[in-house]
Amino acid sequence: MPVTIKSEREIEIMREAGRILAIVHEELARYIKSGISTFEINKKTDELIRSYNCIPSFLNYNGFPASVCVSINDQVVHGIPNKKVYLQDGDIVSLDAGVIYKGYQSDAARTWAVGEISKEAKKLIEVTEQSFFEGMKYAKAGNHLHEISAAIQDYVESNGFSVVRDLVGHGIGASLHEEPQIPNFRQKRRGLKLEAGMTLAIEPMVNAGRYDVYWEDDDWTVVTEDGSLSAHYENTVLITDGEPEILSLRK
């Protein structure tokens, strides 16, 4: 399936989808605290998304049973909300959510501290977020996809962490997952040449230890093989002839 170049109308709709998703994440950040269950976080996310006349992208997507992925500590991504799982002081929690607005998607993730966290955990969250912005320096028409991937990996590894290899970012638009795949690590080939109008979900997933991961028995939750902490940061991005526009981040 070829990479789609979005029209001005499609970009406007995705811009609004991204704006709404940014607000949802801002609201969720205020909701995170010790003692709250991941089930309650999902309920709040679903209510917020629907309050903006959007549909949760993740609910029932390939069978996923919730409107947000809630991944704690060594869980990398796709944690399933649960009434019996509660956030505790010292945890880090990654929230990955998407919205569908007028038939178009936006996808974004953030990792938050729950109360007081360790210095390593704080650094992990900061490096993961900054690695995204290091990649953004190359997210311009005329550059190649591998330049984004390499910049993310180089920044993460220079800070003593590792980039997950088994999961990657993706194109996004009318579908949640479109071409191209977007690794967060260096590729042997230059890959796709970026063009204005491409919309990409770029999402570094960074482990404090090794990059190896495995899937738990629910076939969704991905965890670090060595039990180390993991963080996730993602935005929906529009490629332009100049600087990229981050659609899921409020200016």
In the chain, where are the structural domains located? 8-246
pLDDT band for 208, please (50, 70, 90 cuts): very high
User: What integer best gives the mean pLDDT of the chain?
Assistant: 97
Handedness of CA 3, 15, 129, 240 (dihedral sign): positive
- Exposure pattern of 7-46 as b/e (b: 16+ CB <10 Å)? eeebbebbbbbbbbbbbbbeebeeebeeebbbbbbbebbb
Average pLDDT over residues 207-213: 98
- Residue 2 confidence class, pLDDT cut points 50, 70, 90: confident
pLDDT of residue 93: 99
pLDDT value at 1 more than 80 = no
Least confident segment among 187-191, 206-210, 235-239: 187-191
> Which pLDDT score is estimated for 3?
94
pLDDT in tens, 16-67: 999 999 999 999 999 999 999 999 999 999 999 999 999 999 999 999 999 9
pLDDT on residue 251: 75
Alpha helices by DSSP H, listed for the chain, are 8-31, 38-51, 119-136, 145-158
Give 242's pLDDT tier (boundaries 50, 70, 90): very high
**How many C-beta atoms surround the C-beta of residue 63 within 10 A?**
7
- Cα–Cα distance between 211 and 31 in angstroms, integer? 30
pLDDT of residue 63: 98
pLDDT for 64: 98
Q: How many other CB atoms sit within 10 Å of the CB of residue 197?
A: 18
pLDDT in tens, 163-197: 999 999 999 999 999 999 999 999 988 889 999 99
- The pLDDT value recorded for residue 188 is 86
Q: Does domain 8-246 have CATH number 3.40.50.300?
A: no
Half-sphere exposure of 99 (CA within 13 A, CB side): 29
Mean predicted confidence (pLDDT) in 118-144: 98
User: Cα–Cα distance between 177 and 249 in angstroms, integer?
Assistant: 19
